[in-house]
Structures are given as structure tokens and as C-alpha cells.
Chains A and B, each alone.
Chain A
């Protein structure tokens, strides 16, 4: 009797194992899968990405950029699983950035702290306030909401590097997923960002002279599958979005990508494939060759391409330059973070002198500042 009830019609079976009931449609290709097969393909694809690009070596210490959101929570869970299953022999550490955004970051950091216990990984938190003496909330109230992500992005980059350095770690993995990468490919084309065109798809990047490399093990992992994985594995993550709106232009690319995905699920992979094959043509190289005599200087900027080859950018004298203010590696006299913060600092000083923090006054200042900064 019991047997008979449990028998599943062949049409309702998982399309991979044909033995268990399908419980989901896989977002990547709409294949009907059982839970076990979904875990298997999801994890194996990430494993393939890690191994195929030789992201880890035995004995490496790797920091997971953990925000408490779904991407980084799933990343921590999967990396722990894979590290044990395939014996990567890496030591995983959680590295969190506290941007200082009320109602968003303080709650999500609580999630990271729970993850820390659950996954038994050490946790390091670096805060903007401590590092720069500015929290994001303060920056936004001073510089306006529109440029929040510009500030935040520059500061986070540096904060992650500093956090990793503090931990003595030279490799930070981030939860950037396939959707993010595809979006970036579209954005680069739409804004003609030729400087980033070739590098935006590389899975492993290391900028000039910097001891910290970054990689994206989720480069080929769909956001929707990350959500499903977290759901079935009942992972504890924080799903509120940051209260400061994402950049408007990225928003248009994201909307386009969403509609495209709804008519052709593979398009995220397809766009990444395209992105990996966008190469600047010869004309550019000809002009570069003219500069050859003084170009031989060197070196160091390496980039591992998605096909595994390594590209060495020939950098001019700028290599290994340090910011005069904070010592962070930069190609200019002063690093981007110090430049942005310098602008804010001037503004804050003025505010203090005037002793006038009335809303319209601040808004006016914001406008002038925006004109100055960009």
C-alpha cells in the first residue's frame, strides 16, 4: 500500500536521476530537478569554476567578503562544503565591512555573526567609521543619496584590502554572481567603457602592486539559483536591500537583463560568454606600439583570463605608488578614497563653522559638492 502511494509518474521525475520526484525548475535551463540533483549540479559547477581557474592552493587562507546577504551567505556555506568534500585544504575566514548604514548593516551584521558560529569560521569586521571616520549615513547626509554607491564602492574596495591585510590574507572571494557579471558586460558596452571591457569578465583580478587578489567563485552561478539553494538549505541570510538606491544606469541594464532572462534563461551565460570574447582590436595596439621605447619599464599587473591564460599589463612608472595621505596603493598621488573623503571633510568643516545644519542648507551644499567632485 505505502509503496504504491509513493510511486511517482515517470513524467514527474527529476530529469537527471529519474529516480526522485522533481521539486523545482532550474533557472539556468528550466530543467526539472529533485533537491539532491540541484544541490549536486549547483555545487559541482562552483567546484568546476574553482578548480578550472585554480583559484585556491592547499594551505591558502581565504577571506570571504561577507555581508550577511544571500550571495555571501551561500558562498560561505558552499565553500565550507566544497573545502571539506574535495579537500581543498584552505582556511576560510569571514571578513565583513560595516558601512554604517542604520537599519541595514547593523541587522545584516548580526546575521554574519550567526553565520560565524554556524560555519565555525573566524570573523573580522572592518568599519568605515573606524577606518575613515565617516559612516555611510554621514556621507549620504553630506554628499546626497545619488552618489552613495560611488563613495561606498571606493571605500569598500579599500576596506576589504585593509581588512585582509590585517588578517594576513592575500585572497578575498566575493559573492558576485553571474547576473552581476552579465550586467557589467552590458553596462561596459552601453557606456563604452573600453578600459574595463576585457577585464570585467575575469574571474580573478589583482591590481597593480596590490598584494590582495580578488575572485568570484559564483561567476557562473545564477542569482535565482543562489536564492533557491539558500531556501532549500534553510540558510540564514538577511534579505533587506540597502536603503540607498543602486546606481541609476546599472538599474537600466538590470531591467533589460531581467526581461531578457524571462524570454531566454540562458542569456546570462550567453552574455558572459560574449563578454569573455570581447577583445580590443588592433587599431589600439598600433598606437600602443608607437610608445614602445619607453614602455618596457614593467609589469606586475596580472590578470588571469577566464580561459586560464595570464595577461600582464605593462604599466608605466605608476606601479607600486602609494597614497601620500594613507599609504594605500594607487596610481595617483592621492588615492581615490582620500580624494573623495577630502571633499567631504572640507564640507563638514564648513558646516561646523556655520553651525547651520538645516536641511536645505545641507542640500544646497550637497549640490555644490557634487559639482565639485564630478
Chain B
């Protein structure tokens, strides 16, 4: 656990925030090294490690000097504490039928490299201490993004060389993101109309859809980003179930989780925060799958330090043209929230992230939760998001007064602009879509938008009747 910022220090923390003003956008001026959350020491410093009292320290984190060994143990200890459950420990009298299987979501980024290293070190430790037995099996699952972006290296090479480096056999699986759209008879067109109503209609099934097709239907980059994260988490759940993994572990650091909380709030997904950021049990096809964030108490700066000290950083998946991230216009919601945390100074960096995550953990279910799930992302539906929007985004025109206005209107009606309206609406069914997905599917604008998406057949025929005939639940 991160030490809660001490009361005495409050004053300092506040002052820290004064600096954020200038740095949020464009002026991404890096902090001076004395102000970094993790401070690296040189050989000349000769500060003894506080833990072992033997070695010289290599860095200072959370105000404590660490030697390399003690720092790695400190960070590994964070994971051990998060996954302290019996089921991950070595059992001698265990029945062989259902070994505990953990799916590690691997992106090739620093955090996932570090989490993999930590998990492997745990397995090695177990084998050493318990005559070659393991408490669990580890499956690394990566989603191949190579047809979305150009990379200098690739995931399977990374994993192969990591296995050699760690001297440990790593089982892995690489998923094609297009698998998400593979089941063509589930694909439907989801439309969010101008009045925020959501509709579902069937499509011609002779076409196969790829992720790129879906991206082209997204109204902007922030939408694409949101859609991608929905696809990722669904694919991972599906894979966990198919591979009989009872647990999924994500490598998100505390900083990343805090960033995620902020991004969710910005996307209108506040109601989901409590589920998505806490360790939770998710139901998938009737099976329960536990989702854990073992690095939730580790700052991203500490992840970086771990990767640097162990040399893991050289294995990182590298984009050919990484985002330079200077022009606000080209940024996504997550770019901006990431920038916000990145540019807090040392005190703010640690305390704000921890405050945000702790606050998120205190949240719970809303009162307006319905007994239905969003057909797009699968989250709980809240009461009438479209009604909420309609009340505050009125779309009734002011009456036309002059003859000239009427003439213009007549002209408009006869022009092509009005033609697409009212076409082929008879074939479509109303659909329950959450607020966050409405925003994602429509973008910030006033236009209707459609996207192709796998929509699971509702298995209750009653629900079908309700969906088909109820226009509004009021």
C-alpha cells in the first residue's frame, strides 16, 4: 500500500499543484530530475540501502533509498500482497483436475513486461521451495495490433526472447483482433439517431468486417480508442473462458488506473468506474472470472524504474512512429488525461494518482441501475440516458416566420439533403445502449451514426418481445 500522504505534508502537496497550470497542454516541459517521483542515484552518492543496510542505493522512491535487489523485492511484494489468495499458492494435496489458471493480458508495454517478470519470479520461487510444484499456470495473451499500427518488433519474438532471458517456459497465445468480428451472423448495424434513440438492424452477411472497417465508422479518435478498449476486454474475457482461466490479471499501474478513472468520467462512464477499477468478479457465459490488477499500488514511474534496473525495457514493443503528442486537436481523451498525470510534479504525481484510485474504490452501484446490459459494451444500463440528453439538448426549431424562410424550407425539402431521412426504418428494432456508448458511437456532434457490431442474441424470448414492442419504458 502506498503510504497515505501524511497530514503534515498537506501544505506541500497543494503547492505542488500550482505548477500544473502551465504544463497540461502543449508545453510538455519535463520536470527537472530532482523533482521526479523516482530519483536515480549515482555511484558517487554512496547512500546505503535502508532495507538491507549492505548495498549502496540506486534510487529513491517514496522518500526511501533502495538498492536494486531491495527495490525489485519491494515492487514484487506489491503483487504478492494483491494476489495473496490461497488459490494461487502451491497445494500438495490438490486434485489434479482443475489447476488454477491465470491469464496475463500482455500488451508489450513496460507494465506488462514488469508484471510478467514478477509473475515468473513468483513461479520460480514456488518451484524452488516446493520441489518443482507451481501454485498456478500462467497463460500470456496478447492482442496482435500489427495490422493497426507499424511496429519495429513483434509480440511473439518478444515473448520468445523473454522466455530465454528469464530461463522459463512461457505459454502464450496471440489473438487476431479481427476475431471479434468473425462470427458474421452476430453482426448487426447499431445506429444512434439524432434524437439519441438506439436501433439495431441486420446487415448483408456476404461481407466480412475487419477492425479497420469498424474504425472507419467511428466518428473520431477518442471513439476509436474507446471501441478498442471494449474489444480488448471482451476478447480477453472470451479467451479466459475458452482457455479455462479463472483469473485475468492486468498490468495497469496505479497511475494508469487513475488515468482510466478520469477518462471514464470524461466519457460519461462514471457509473462503471467502481467495477472497472476495483478487482472484481465478472460473469461470462455463466462462468465467473476474477479480474485483478496486481500492480495497483505501483506508480508508473516505479514500473519504469523496475524495467530499467532489470533491463526489461529493451524488450518493449516499439511503434515505428510513436505519437508525438503535441497538438491538442489530434489527441484523444486518454492522451489528455495521461498528460494531466504525467505533468504533475513528484508529490502530486504520487498523491493524486493514489487519491483518485482510492476514491474510485469507494464508489458503488447507482440507484438508477436497470436490470439490463448495454448491447454494445455490456455494462449495466442506467435509467433513460437518451431522455436525459434530449432534455438538455433540445432539437426543436423556432417557428419559421417570413415567406422567405418558408421558401428556403421548401427548397430544402426538395433538395437531396433531406432525402436520406425516413429511409428503411421499418426493419429496425430498439436497442439498449448506455450513455458512454452513445457518446462513443455518435462522437460529440449532432449527427446520427452507425457502426457494425456483434450483438449477442438475447436468450430470453420474453426479452425479445419487450425489446420489440416497448418503445419507452415510461
Contacts and interface: CB of A to CB of B under 8 A. Distances in A.
Interface stretch (B71-79, B101-109, B257-265, B282-290): B257-265
A263 B336 contact: yes
Contact of A260 (B336, B415, B417): B336
B25 A255 contact: yes
Interface residues of B, number: 78
26 contacts: A10-B415, A17-B397, A18-B409, A19-B408, A20-B400, A20-B405, A30-B445, A37-B398, A40-B397, A41-B393, A41-B395, A52-B391, A189-B359, A189-B360, A190-B262, A248-B21, A249-B14, A252-B17, A252-B20, A255-B25, A266-B439, A267-B267, A274-B264, A274-B268, A281-B274, A283-B364
A192 B365 contact: no
Contacts of A18: 397, 408-409, 412-413, 418
Given A45-B391, A256-B336, 6 more contacts: A11-B417, A13-B412, A16-B398, A248-B17, A264-B222, A281-B365
Interface stretch (B85-93, B236-244, B325-333): B325-333
A194 B396 contact: no
A259 B328 contact: yes
A281 B363 contact: yes
Interface of B: 11, 14, 17-18, 20-21, 24-25, 220-222, 261-262, 264-271, 273-274, 328-329, 331-333, 336-337, 340, 352, 355-356, 358-360, 362-368, 382-383, 385, 388-389, 391-400, 404-409, 411-413, 415, 417-418, 435-436, 439, 443-446
A277 B392 contact: no
A280 B265 contact: no
A39 interface: yes
Contacts of B340: 252, 256
A18 B367 CA distance: 41
Interface string A257-287: 0011011111101110111111111111000
A199 B458 CA distance: 37
Main secondary structure of the interface of A (DSSP, over half): helix
A274 B270 CA distance: 4
Nearest to B411: A10
A2 to B, nearest CB: 10
Given A19-B405, A29-B444, A48 B24 contact: no
Interface residues of A, number: 71
Contacts of A41: 393-396
Interface string A184-223: 0110011110100100000000000000000000001000
Interface in A3-48: 3, 6-8, 10-11, 13-20, 26, 28-31, 34, 36-37, 39-41, 44-45, 48
Contact of B404 (A6, A267, A270): A6
Given A19-B412, A29-B446, A279 B363 contact: yes
Main secondary structure of the interface of B (DSSP, over half): helix
A267 B328 CA distance: 15
A127 interface: no
Contacts of A13: 408, 412
A183 B56 CA distance: 46
Interface of A: 3, 6-8, 10-11, 13-20, 26, 28-31, 34, 36-37, 39-41, 44-45, 48-49, 52, 185-186, 189-192, 194, 197, 220, 248-249, 251-252, 255-256, 259-260, 262-267, 269-271, 273-284, 307, 309, 374
Contacts of B269: 274
B51 to A, nearest CB: 30
A275 B367 contact: no
Contact of A262 (B221, B273, B329): B329
Nearest to B18: A248
B391 A263 contact: no
B11 A374 contact: yes
A199 B398 CA distance: 35
A48 B319 CA distance: 49
Contacts of A255: 20-21, 24-25
Contacts of B222: 263-264
Contacts of B265: 185-186, 189, 271, 274-275, 278
A276 B389 CA distance: 13
B333 A39 contact: no
Closest 7 CB pairs of A and B: A281-B364, A274-B270, A17-B397, A270-B268, A19-B405, A277-B271, A16-B397
